[in-house]
Amino acid sequence: MRWLWLLALGCTQAPAATAPPAPRYYLVGPGGARSFEGPGTGPARQLLPGFGLAIVEEHAAAGRRWGHTARGRWIALEELAPAQPASFRGVALDSGTLDFAWVVTAGAPVLDAGGRRLATRALFAREPLPEPCAGPRCRTTGGWMRAEDLRVPRAFPRPAGVGPTERWLDVDLGSQTLVAYQGDRPVFATLVSTGIGAPGSPLATPPGVFRIRSKHRAASMDNLEHTGVVPYSYEDIPLVQYFTERVALHAALWHQRFGRPASHGCVNLSPADAERLFAFTSPRLAGSQTEIYLRPSAPATVVRVRAER
């Protein structure tokens, strides 16, 4: 399945002229929604606010505009809100150095040495760092900024078992960053959103060294079998890479909180970064292949999750 937002972000292979329209992603509105077997016909299923789904076509019937989901249900579009995926994307590290930070507070102040405001920075702006950041303030090329307003990616040695030219990923829970490596060389860095739970809880991203165990061009996730938690259900999430039985790297289309914990345990990526890392990791899906499952002993990209702060 080719996704509209992926095409817009520079996929090199354009779809054939006869290809069906790419789906758009929607979120259920604050009043909830109902899905039907046909446009307003058949038994209704109730959908809770915030649930997400992909709409593959639209159709007018009975004075309303209806969306046909990728799962074959129909929902009145007035009960949905188009998702607003983040346009943020990480940076290729041509020099192999990590000498910058991302701003994660909109309007973050730039201060002089005495604390007087000189300027402000936009959310997700990239700020050069002339020296390593330490303490409650970081020196930038424009002055000083509060460390709490910045996320600084850091380089770390490759884990045991990773070869000198092998590709691997390093997720830093403390800085909410991800760095992609080839051997010892950082080649790409970005912001992520990991789990909101306390360490060891079901909503935390577990630290450790893992390997990719399955890749899916689209997959669905929910927690509807659990009780005592805020329910969620997201159908057809694009570009999913599981590295444990329940925890995956994937595109997040429903928030723009990259650089801060926001997930129920997965590693959330912007759509552009999810596309890039899906192509970066091995194995790669071939042609029309939509998913692949790996044996534990099969060669696949290492994902290390670190808890250092």
SS3 track for 219-271: EEEECCCCCCCCCCEEEEEEEEEECCCCCEEEECCCCCCCCCCCECCCEEECH
Residue-level pLDDT at 6: 34
Please, are residues 131 and 144 in contact by the beta-carbon 8 Å criterion?
no
Residues in a beta bridge with 47:
33
Nearest to 3 by CA among 159, 207, 188, 218: 218
CA-based end-to-end distance of the chain:
38
Sequence-ordered list of residues with C-beta below 8 angstroms from that of 283, at least 6 positions apart, any chain: 215, 292, 294, 298, 299, 300
Residue-level pLDDT at 16: 36
**Phi/psi class of residue 10: alpha, beta or left (left: φ > 0; alpha: ψ in -120 to 50)?**
left
**Residue type for position 5:** W
Across the chain, which has 309 residues, the per-10-residue mean pLDDT values are: 35 37 86 95 93 94 94 96 95 94 97 95 96 92 96 95 96 97 97 95 94 95 74 92 96 95 96 97 91 86 88
Q: Evaluate whether 4-82 and 167-306 have a shared fold.
A: no
Which two tokens mark 104? 């994660």
Please, are residues 234 and 266 in contact by the beta-carbon 8 Å criterion?
no
Nearest to 143 by CA among 190, 109, 179: 109
- Provide the strand spans (E) within 129-247: 137-140, 143-146, 150-151, 167-172, 177-182, 185-191, 208-211, 214-222, 233-242
Residue-level pLDDT at 2: 40
Residue-level pLDDT at 164: 95
- Please state, in angstroms and as integers, the Cα–Cα distance from residue 21 to each residue in 58, 252, 283, following that order: 11, 21, 28
Domain 167-306's class? mainly beta
Q: Give me the architecture of the 4-82 domain, per CATH.
A: Roll (2.30)
Nearest to 252 by CA among 234, 266, 265, 271: 271
Residues in a beta bridge with 34:
46
Ordered by start, the domain boundaries in the chain are 4-82, 105-151, 167-306
Residue-level pLDDT at 287: 85
**CA 121, 127, 128 angle in degrees (round to 5)?**
150
